[in-house]
Amino acid sequence: MRPIGDIAIARIEELSGPVFGPESLIPDWNLAAVQEHMHWLQPGHYDAVSGNLVGSFHSWLLKTRHHTILVDTCVGNDKDRPHFERFHRARHPWMENLRAAGFAPEDIDIVMCTHLHVDHVGWNTRLENGRWVPTFPKARYLFSRADRDYWDPATGGHSAMAMNDVIFNDSVLPVIESGQADLVEGIHEIEAGIEIHPAPGHTPGNIILKAASRDARGIFAGDCLHHPIQLYHPEWNASVDEDKPLAHKTRRALLEECAERHSLLLPAHFAAPHVAYIKRAGNAFAPEFPS
């Protein structure tokens, strides 16, 4: 992965492939509307055999002069996820991939979760002697206060569609109880050029990470969009967007910024090459995938 200025970037994959049913992920999806895009969607982003969208579940890792920062922690292993068949008691090689990238859990200084859905918090913790303990012993974990308040079963009121109490209790609560969690609000600077910004809609407290070094910029966008077709149709929300009008507004603003400032877009679920520069295309946008 190319650096962002002086910031080294690594992608830590958990799983990838034709994993998303189009209509279940993006309810507005229809073949007639996307037919003109099939020349670039196939085979990398759409699998004609299964009819599924090709995607990836991965974390991003940033290495700056001062910090090693992990953005999102995927699904995790050994987690009890009966309502998410693909994730239930999974055994994925995420940890092996982290080590293959040259990093150990002890090397991580900061873990930032863009939101607290099942596939973004899993490796926050690992199973040790029957207990869930923080995976990254030296790290500060940065969570959005609004998302913590929304998903904490002690406060109630969250949507069972996207998350249930056990996810919070095994992947977020142990970090809070260990004293390693910091709850962020508004714009939060990690270091010069590395900032967390609110990006609500997908969840109430959804956040993104903006990185700038020299004349290069990148935005680690989490689930503000799930698939490149949403560049051409930013009005197409994901089924798991909690506040769909706000998610659309946030998505469009994010893409406008990427196009205006030539910021590299680094989402959580795009298939290879996993990132894109963004250009305007009429009232929508189009990707420029780096080679």
pLDDT digits (tens, 9 = 90+) for 175-190: 999 999 999 999 999 9
Tens digit of each residue's pLDDT (9 = 90 or more) over 95-148: 999 999 999 999 999 999 999 999 999 999 999 999 999 999 999 999 999 999
In a domain, 3, yes or no: no
The confidence score (pLDDT) of residue 157 equals 57
Task: Give me the mean pLDDT over the 149-166 stretch.
Answer: 71
Cα Rg, the chain, nearest whole Å: 18
Calpha distance 132→92 (Å, rounded): 17
In a domain, 178, yes or no: yes
Q: Binning pLDDT at 50, 70 and 90, where does residue 27 land?
A: very high
CATH number of the domain at 110, please: 3.60.15.10
Number of domains in the chain: 1
In a domain, 85, yes or no: yes
In a domain, 95, yes or no: yes
> What is the extent of the structural domain holding 239?
8-288
In a domain, 261, yes or no: yes
Tens digit of each residue's pLDDT (9 = 90 or more) over 29-74: 998 999 999 999 999 999 999 999 999 999 999 999 999 999 999 9
The confidence score (pLDDT) of residue 155 equals 77
Number of other residues whose CB lies within 10 A of the CB of residue 124: 29
Mean pLDDT of the chain: 95
Calpha distance 177→28 (Å, rounded): 41
Distances (CA, A) of 190 to 198, 224, 268: 14, 21, 20
| pTM for the whole structure | 0.95
In a domain, 145, yes or no: yes
